[in-house]
Amino acid sequence: MGQTLLIVESPTKAKTIGKYLGSEYIVKASVGHVRDLPTKELGIEIKDDRFEPHYVPMKGKGKIISELKKAARKADQVLLAPDPDREGEAIAWHIAQELGDKKPIQRVLFHEVTKSAIQKALREPLEININKVNAQQSRRILDRMVGYKISPLLWQTVRRGLSAGRVQSVAVRLVCEREAEIKAFVPVEYWSITTTLEGEIPPSFTAKLHQIDAKKAEVSDQESAERIVADLKQLTCKISKIEKKERKRRPTPPFITSKLQQEAARKLGFSAKKTMMVAQQLYEGIELGTEGPVGLITYMRTDSVRVADSAVSECRELIANLFGQDYLPAKVQFYPNKNASQDAHEAIRPTSVTYVPNEIKDYLGKDQFNLYSLIWKRFVASQMNPARYYQTTVSIMAGENYQLRAVGRHQLFDGFLIVYEEGRDSNGDENGSDTELPALNEGEILNLKDILPKQHFTQPPPRFTESTLVKELEEKGIGRPSTYASIMSTIQDRGYVELQEKRFYPTDLGELVTDLLRQSFPDILNVSFTARMESDLDKVEEGTRDWQALLADFYRPFAAQLDTALETMREAKKAGEEVTDEICDKCGANMVVKWGRNGRFIACPNFPECKNTKDLNEVGEGNGDNRELVDVGDCPECGKPLQLRNGRFGRFISCSNYPECKYTSSVSTGVACPQEGCDGELVEKKSRKGKLFYACNRYPKCTYATWDKPYPLVCPDCDFPFLVEKKGQAAGDKLLRCSQKGCNYQAKVPIIGSKS
């Protein structure tokens, strides 16, 4: 019997699969895609509503293609086994196109790199799914047309090197719109009133004001809060009703791609890109000592929560053995998919739960172990019994008008929580209902021990984290499991957003490009339009939508917008130019902020008659008041006055006698470096992306740094040597807080005097 050539994507996967197959198989890797559209031209012939892509071998893939062709000539048949998704199907199709039809070529699909899955796939070879291929081609052509047609317009109106993306631009718009919501948000004051009560049996417990005159308590100002506090101090608190209900908390389904990315961000601090990279390693195979390479998880790009019956059976057996029958449901836990089209793959799960994380920890890197543990625990928990608890709600009447409420929880059975609990995206909310209440009885008179009125302000919507942006894209139908990680990376790499303290901020460039595209290409930036396009691509994959018709329906209005876009973008950009206080020293006009090849600068609005321009850093953010001489002492080298300037890396001090004297120094905060054993001081610095921070002037010997502006004021409560500036809850409010862990001191800026 002759040999069979089996082609996969990854060398690691090829090595793992090769372990399971005999000498009659040759296993080769394509190392991803082998063909694509050309890089220096559109590569698509558009004629009579038909779109003909012209594919070429990718740079650096010539040798690999030659090796695959050589191996194919020696084999009796060729089996193509790239990943089981659209990209994998397209890779298989491109390889088949390169190899030609001289040998039988078939497709094999497996969703986990295990011996049984591979052997089953080899027994059931398929034909290449041309609908999947066309869905991938459609997406590639759409993205190419948007990128190659719009990017040159951005070069002409903003600066060279910019690019637009069909899906990424929508993600940037979401970040920009969230930032606009935050800036427009007007905080509203409200007060909570929390009492500390004690019954006949200790301990004491807390109850919050819930109703006033049988209506929801709404306390809007300090005067009202003080009046209510005064009333409560005079009134008797009596328990009017106690409700006890047994509740269940059910486990969450096994991971799909988006949920894995969100949970890895919350619990492990992984970016979406890192999550997928580590998951790919676990999927393709890890060396487990004498056992050799083993694929530890199923395919990691999936929208499905379906699980194979064999995997469920194995999991139930493990639960019974490790945790006991109390944790094993009488029936299999079933989780429905949102729609039938998502059922092509299984959920992300361990290929075998017998590979218990702690038992194979020595063979895994730290990131591999953490992610595998997360996947293993989530899957095992999904097949366990719910947690059960009593929730007790105590209603307390203070007089006839005020109702207080206390909510407590008593766990009866931990269930799946013994293994895993889903993380949450923190938005600053606190939930006190997990507190266990003491023994109480209806009609019992309570002793009021304390009342705490507390001022609050409504909060704007939080900025997106990677986790919450992936969630938003998923909920709005933007992108697909295979694209979320690249979206997160691309919008940062292009300089349209910045990730600061794990939250996305739009850059000036991101907001400008978003505004220009929104006015010139409303469909491209439209969330609903992009979601419908994703749905249409799914229909192409299902065979219910013609891919050429989809492209034509997109291109007709797009081409019409292209005809007028350049002028529209120029007008929109000009209308949005920021007028500064800087006066043109050639013609007297107020200069405006513009964009150029190297970023923002200021220029005379009378161009081309007046061509005066200046570096924005030299004059500050749109005004000239940062060029003034400031009394910061005399130059230690020549005795001339020192000058405070703005530079590329933030503010600095230089000699006014420059360039004859080139003395410079950083702007000191007057705060000694808190690092033990360091005699440096904290000075102003500016990050590569323009954000101000404060670092020790002994760098690189000392690497201490903080984003918070320090003040040389000793904390009155704990004697920590400096305080830091933080934003308060009210708009424009600033607070000085102690940065010492465990100290809660804070005061409004400015503070006069300090403890010495």
The secondary structure of residue 491, as a DSSP letter, is H
As to burial, measured by CB atoms within 10 angstroms (0-12 exposed, 13-18 middle, 19+ buried), residue 655 is buried
Return all residues near 734 (Cβ < 8 A) that are at least 6 apart.
725, 726, 727, 728, 748, 749
Backbone angles phi, psi at 411, to 5 degrees: -75, 130
Q: Concatenate the DSSP letters of all residues of 256-308 into one string.
A: -HHHHHHHHHHHH---HHHHHHHHHHHHH-EE-GGG-EE--BB-S--------
Nearest to 29 by CA among 94, 86, 82: 82
The residue among 104, 120, 106, 92 whose CA lies nearest residue 20 is 120
DSSP assignments along 300-333, one per residue: S--------HHHHHHHHHHHHHHH-GGGS-SS--
Q: How far apart are CA 622 and CA 564, in angstroms?
A: 31
Residue 287 exposed, middle or buried by CB count within 10 Å (0-12, 13-18, 19+): middle
Phi and psi at 492, nearest 5°, equal -80, -45
Structure tokens at 128: 């290449």
Q: Which two tokens stand for residue 350?
A: 């361990």
Contact 112, 81 (CB under 8 A): no
* Beta bridge mates, 594: 601
User: Quick count: other Cβ atoms within 10 Å of Cβ 385?
Assistant: 22
377, HSE (Cβ side, Cα atoms, 13 Å): 20
Annotated catalytic residue, options 25, 55, 283, 299: 299
Instruction: Give the angle subtended at the CA of 476 by the CAs of 471 and 481, to the nearest 5°.
Output: 55
Tell me which residue has tokens 């766990």.
Answer: 411
48: Cα within 13 Å, side-chain hemisphere: 0
Is 699 an annotated catalytic residue?
Answer: no
Helix (H, G, I), strand (E, B) or coil at 727: strand
Phi, psi (rounded to 5 degrees) for 123: -80, -15
Judged on CB neighbours under 10 Å (0-12, 13-18, 19+), 335 is middle
Q: How far apart are CA 185 and CA 182, in angstroms?
A: 5
Can you list the alpha helix ranges (DSSP code H) found in 346-420?
366-382
Amino acid (1-letter code) at residue 474:
E
Residues annotated catalytic, as ranges: 299
